[in-house]
Chains A and B, each alone.
Chain A
Amino acid sequence: MEAISSDTLIASNTPKPISGSLQDKDLEGTHLQGLSARSLKAKRLTTVYVYEAPVRLWHWVSALCILILCITGYLIASPPASVTGSPSEHYQMGWIRYLHFATAWVFAIAFLGRCIWAFMGNAYSREIFYIPFWRSSYWKGLWDTILVYAFLRRDEQKFVGHNPLAVTAMFFCFTLTTIFMIFTGFALYSEGTGPGSWEAKIFGWVIPLLGGPLETHYLHHWGMWVLILFIMIHVYTVVREDIMSPQSLISAMTNGYRFFRDDQPDE
Chain B
Amino acid sequence: MAHTETFYDVMRRQGITRRSFIKYCSLTATALGLGPEFVPQIVHAMETKPRLPVLWLHGLECTCCSESFIRSSHPLAKDVILSMISLDYDDLLMAPAGYQAEAIIGEVMQKYNGNYILAVEGNPPLNEDGMYCIIGGKPFVEQLRKAASAAKAVIAWGSCASHGCVQAARPNPTRATPIDKVILDKPIIKVPGCPPIAEVMTGVITYMLTFDRMPSLDRQGRPIMFYSQRIHDKCYRRAHFDAGQYVEAFDDEGARKGYCLYKMGCKGPTTYNACSTVRWNDGVSFPIQSGHGCLGCSEEGFWDKGSWYARLQHVDGFGIEASADKVGAITAGIVGAGLAAHAAVSALQRIRRKGDDR
A interface residues with partner B (beta carbon < 8 Å): 74, 77-84, 87-94, 96, 149, 151, 191-192, 194-195, 204-205, 208, 211-215, 217-218, 221-222, 224-225, 228-229, 232-233, 236, 240, 243-244, 261
User: Is there contact, CB below 8 Å, between A214 and B270?
Assistant: yes
Contacts A79-B246, A222-B324 known; 13 new A-B pairs at CB < 8 A = A82-B245, A89-B243, A92-B243, A92-B244, A149-B342, A151-B345, A195-B224, A195-B228, A212-B305, A218-B312, A222-B328, A236-B339, A240-B342
Distance of B263 from chain A, by nearest CB (Å): 7
B97 contacts the other chain (Cβ, under 8 Å)? no
- CB pair A214–B339 under 8 Å, yes or no, is no
Q: A232-B335, A232-B336 are in contact. Are A214 and B244 (CB under 8 A)?
A: no
Closest chain-A Cβ to B313's Cβ sits at a distance in Å of 5
Please give, as numbers and ranges, the residues of chain B lying within 8 Å of A80 by CB-CB distance: 244
B299–A214 CB distance below 8 A: yes
Interface residues of B (CB under 8 A from A): 218-220, 224, 228-230, 233, 239-246, 248, 254, 259, 262-263, 267, 269-272, 296, 299-301, 305, 311-313, 324-325, 327-328, 331-332, 335-336, 339, 342-343, 345-346, 349-350, 358
In the bound complex, what is the Cα–Cα distance between A254 and B102 (angstroms)? 79
Main secondary structure of the interface of B (DSSP, over half): helix
Contact, CB under 8 Å: A79 / B270:
no
Look across to chain B and name the residue whose beta carbon is closest to the beta carbon of A86. B243
- 10 residue pairs of the A-B complex, CB under 8 angstroms, read A77-B325, A87-B239, A88-B239, A192-B233, A195-B228, A208-B220, A214-B313, A221-B312, A222-B324, A243-B350
Most buried by B among A88, A151, A212, A243: A212
A79 near B312: Cβ-Cβ < 8 Å: no
Select B332's contact among A213, A232, A244, beta carbons within 8 Å.
A232
> How far is A233 from B343 in the complex, measured between Cα atoms in Å?
11
Chain B residues near A243 (CB-CB < 8 A): 350
| B244 pairs with A82, CB closer than 8 A | yes
Contact, CB under 8 Å: A93 / B328? no
B242, B300, B335: residue with the most chain A Cβ atoms closer than 10 Å = B242
Structural contact, B219 and A208, CB atoms closer than 8 A: yes
Name the residue of chain A whose CB is nearest to the CB of B267.
A214
In contact, B244 and A90 (Cβ under 8 angstroms): yes
Residue of B270, B272, B313, B346 ringed by the most chain A CB atoms within 10 A: B270
Q: Which residues of B contact A240 (CB under 8 A)?
A: 342-343, 346
Task: Identify the closest chain B residue to A262 (Cβ).
Answer: B357
Supposing A211-B300, A212-B301 touch, asked if A225 and B245 sit within 8 A by C-beta, the answer is no
Contacts of A224 in B (CB 8 A): 328
Q: Which of A82, A94, A205 contacts B259 (CB 8 A)?
A: A82
* CB of B351, distance to nearest CB on chain A (Å): 12
Contact B270 A229 (CB under 8 A): no
Which B residues are in CB contact (< 8 Å) with A96? 244
**Contact assessment for A225 and B332 in the assembled complex, using a CB-CB cutoff below 8 Å:** yes
